[in-house]
Each structure stands twice: as structure tokens, then as C-alpha cells.
Amino acid sequence: MVSLRTKAAVICTIPPLLDLLPDTFMKDYLIAPSILSADFARLGEEVNAVLDAGADVIHFDVMDNHYVPNLTIGPMVCEALRNHKIAAPIDVHLMVTPVDQLILDFAKAGASYISFHPEATVHVDRSLQLVRDQGCKSGLVFNPGSSIECLEYLMDKIDVILLMSVNPGFGGQKFIPSTLKKLEKVRKLIDDSGYQILLEVDGGVGVKNIREIADAGADMFVTGSAIFNSKDYAATIKAMREELGQSPNRSH
């Protein structure tokens, strides 16, 4: 049986047809389950379960009951996951203020990506540089009501732009539709900049809306309750990949 990917490869050798294919056809989308919705009593097991089910990245929500009205997990839990032999990228989302000390602590604990909200630090440029100095990928997070203007001056210091599609602080909330317009705007900013920057979306993402979010320009999808509240993690991730037009059994 000739696989879809082989067929695609053959098709792609014929130049005119290449232009007919939508941009998203060969795009590599990243699915990042948010462990905020996992069963914390079995966290190591839950993380292995979603990775075995086909997830790419583990999204790690850090809340300090100060920047957001909730309190979650710290660097020692990130370190515990690394000690539990979790090798997948860990995407740390800091909803805290200030951020610099926790950037150092999470880098030491094994974080791969570290993102923070620009209004949570006094010196955004310096804090982004601090993340990269630790050897981690740097990211900025924008709340639904926050302007993205500062991006213009920071594109050379950013590896990930994360758009919140809910107000931060809780899982299980509804996707805010105006995020689609913001995604299109940031997608254009990234493409015009020429920098390799991931465009990530966080909040209310599920099987039903993941396609339109991808069409608006996102390439990394945080999804918590849609996966962890489902009976079959593999079936849910497979359904998401099919919506994205990706083969469920793609190699990582």
C-alpha cells in the first residue's frame, strides 16, 4: 500500500501542481497538551500517556496567584518530570510577576521553551535575552485584550509568540473568536520578518476549532481539557491531526 506521504512526494515533484497545494499541506503542526488539566496525582504517567498518544510538546502552566487568580506548579515539578525520563520539549508558560528569577530556576529544572507576559516584567528585552542566555527558547505571551505593538522591536529576540485565546488562569474556558484576527496579524508580522518564530495559541482549542485556528496562521496548539478530559487521548490527538490535514502516524 503506497503511503499518503509517498503519494504526496510524487505529486510534489510536478512543479505546477505544487502551487495548487494549500500552504498548510506539508506544514509541521505541533500539539502541546497543557498538563493543567491532567490528574496531578499521576502526573508522570499522564505525561507519558499523552506523548505515547502522539503529542509533540508538554505545555507547563505556572501561576502565582498574583499575575493570575490561581496557583499551580513550580520548577521542582519540571525537574521531577525530567527525572522521570520525560525527554520531550517542555513549554513553560509563566503567568507570574516578576519573571527573571523563575526564568533561571526553570532553565535549571530542564525547561525547553520559557514564555512570559510582557506586562509581567519591567525590562522585556532583557528578560527575553535572559531566557536565551540559559540556552532555552524564548517566548512572549499576549492576553486577549493586550496589544502586540512591542513585537515590532523584539522579533530578533523571540522564538515563540503565544496568543492567549482565553483570559489566563484556568483550563476549560471557551475560545475567544477575536483571536483569529490577531493570529492573522501576527502570522503576517512573522512571515514579513523572515525570522523562524513559532506562532502558538492557548485556550479553548479542540478538535472542532483547530482547523480554523490553523488557517488563521497558528502552528503550535496548546490544548488541555480537550485531551485530558477525553476518554482516549490517542483518538483525540488523531482527530486533531486529521483536522489539520496531517497523517496521524507521522514520525516525530
| Residues annotated as catalytic (active site), given as ranges | 61, 202
Cβ nearer to ligand DX5, comparing 30 with 155:
30
Using the rule CB under 6 A, which residue among 54, 75, 110, 204 binds ligand DX5?
204
CA 19 to chain centre: 28
Cβ nearer to ligand DX5, comparing 98 with 172:
172
Residues in touch with Zn ion (CB under 5 A): 61, 93, 202
The residue range among 10-18, 45-53, 178-186, 222-230 that interacts with ligand DX5, by the rule CB under 6 A, is 222-230
The residue range among 108-116, 180-188, 203-211, 213-221 that interacts with ligand DX5, by the rule CB under 6 A, is 203-211
- The reply on whether position 120 binds ligand DX5 by CB under 6 A is no
Residue 203 phi, psi dihedral angles, 5° rounding: 125, 115
- The reply on whether position 203 binds ligand DX5 by CB under 6 A is yes
CA dihedral 41, 42, 44, 46 (to 10 degrees): -120
Beta strand 220-223 with 137-142: parallel, antiparallel or unpaired?
unpaired
Cβ nearer to Zn ion, comparing 49 with 141:
141
Cβ nearer to Zn ion, comparing 59 with 238:
59
Alpha helices, DSSP H, located in the chain: 4-12, 15-20, 43-52, 75-83, 100-109, 124-133, 179-193, 210-215, 225-228, 233-243
Using the rule CB under 6 A, which residue among 50, 226, 237, 239 binds ligand DX5?
226
Distances (CA, A) of 99 to 66, 123, 190: 12, 10, 25
- The reply on whether position 143 binds ligand DX5 by CB under 6 A is no
Contacts of 30 (CB under 8 A, 6+ apart): 56, 57, 198, 219, 220, 221
Q: Which of 67, 72, 70, 68 is nearest to 36 (CA)?
A: 72
Which of positions 43-62 make contact with ligand DX5 (CB under 6 A)? Answer: 59, 61
Cβ distance 143 to 118 under 8 Å? no
Q: Which does 176 bind (CB under 5 to 8 A by kind): Zn ion, ligand DX5, none?
A: none
Cβ nearer to ligand DX5, comparing 77 with 153:
77
Distances (CA, A) of 53 to 45, 137, 138, 216, 231: 12, 25, 27, 26, 12
- The reply on whether position 97 binds ligand DX5 by CB under 6 A is no
Q: Which does 124 bind (CB under 5 to 8 A by kind): Zn ion, ligand DX5, none?
A: none
Binding footprint of ligand DX5 on the chain (CB under 6 A)? 34, 36-37, 59, 61, 93, 166, 168-173, 202-205, 222-226
